[in-house]
Amino acid sequence: MSYSFEFALDSQSDGKSSLIEALLGLRFNVHEIEMGTRQPLILQMVHYRSTLEPRCRFQEEDSKEYRSPVVSASTIADVIKSRTEALLKKTKTSVSPKPIVMRAEFAHCPNLTIIDTPGFDQKVACWFI
């Protein structure tokens, strides 16, 4: 199985997360008026022909183990939001470099790993492939 890795880097609120959701085929991320992504999201998309509904699972904090599958897009957004809020409260910061790792298995997605980064305050735009 071959995987490609891509990083989405750009200014805040420029649509990085929306592009990643379009690639997965599922709207799941936290959407805020200002900065929605406050810590990197490592999204491991895995193509499974027999999985007709997206099956997502989160890696446990400080572990390589994954939680039970989550199917609901609103539940996925809630997990991302609650994990981010807890970490930022603990670190007393507004953005963290510590990533959330999510694995998505779905018949309609490619084998691809994308890292969605928080936006930059200044205009910077580049893609690393």
Sketch out the chain's domains with CATH numbers: 6-116 (3.40.50.300)
pLDDT at site 15:
66
In which residue are the tokens 């997605």 written?
109
Residue 45 reports pLDDT greater than 70: yes
Residue 129 reports pLDDT greater than 50: no
List b or e across 27-59, with b for residues whose CB sees 16 or more CB atoms inside 10 angstroms. ebbbeeeeebbbbbbbbbbbeeeebeebebbbb
Which residues make Cβ contacts (< 8 Å) with residue 86, sequence separation at least 6?
Answer: none
pLDDT digits (tens, 9 = 90+) for 46-96: 998 998 888 889 998 888 898 888 767 778 888 888 888 898 999 998 888
In which residue are the tokens 């999510």 written?
102
Q: CA-CA distance, 105 to 123, in Å (whole number)?
A: 34
pLDDT digits (tens, 9 = 90+) for 3-30: 455 554 555 555 667 777 777 777 776 6
In which residue are the tokens 């007393």 written?
92
Residue 101 reports pLDDT greater than 70: yes
Q: Are the beta carbons of 32 and 81 closer than 8 angstroms?
A: no
pLDDT at site 14:
57
pLDDT at site 95:
85
Instruction: Report the chain's mean pLDDT, rounded to a whole number.
Output: 76
Q: Are the beta carbons of 104 and 26 closer than 8 angstroms?
A: yes
Q: Find the mean pLDDT for residues 97-101.
A: 89
